[in-house]
Amino acid sequence: MKTMEFRVSCVRECLLTEGYVYTVRSYNLTSGWVWVDDVGRCFRKHVMEVKSKQDLARFVHKYSGFTDIDSWWRVIESLCAGKRKWLYAVYDEEATVVLNRFLGFL
């Protein structure tokens, strides 16, 4: 199983407390199960390529761990340094079960 790391504390805390977080990465991977230390098995859902910070406006206040788009974008730029960027939704295993039941998959 692939792994994901969450080194930015507010993003990690959001995943730990809410069971769900949006995260931007400099790699383009398909959706699938990943392992997150201290959280366990999570589902990583590929959402979209991010071309500008405005692409993230509708995600910042819901489950990003950040309170405003500018602070989120500063961290993204510091970690992705000029690379292409992709948005993922990451759900812990419990949130994945709840979501699947809501959507009628379980």
Q: pLDDT at position 103, please?
A: 58
Q: Write the single-letter amino acid at 51.
A: K
Q: pLDDT at position 105, please?
A: 54
Q: Could you report the average pLDDT of every consecutive run of 10 residues in the chain (106 residues)?
A: 95 94 96 94 96 94 93 96 95 76 57
Q: pLDDT at position 10, please?
A: 96
For residue 84, give both structure tokens.
Answer: 């292409």
Q: Do residues 89 and 22 lie in contact, with contact meaning Cβ atoms separated by under 8 Å?
A: yes
Q: What is residue 42's DSSP assignment?
A: E
* Cross-strand partners of 86: 25, 49
Q: From CA 10, how far away is CA 84, in angstroms rounded?
A: 23
Q: Do residues 89 and 31 lie in contact, with contact meaning Cβ atoms separated by under 8 Å?
A: no
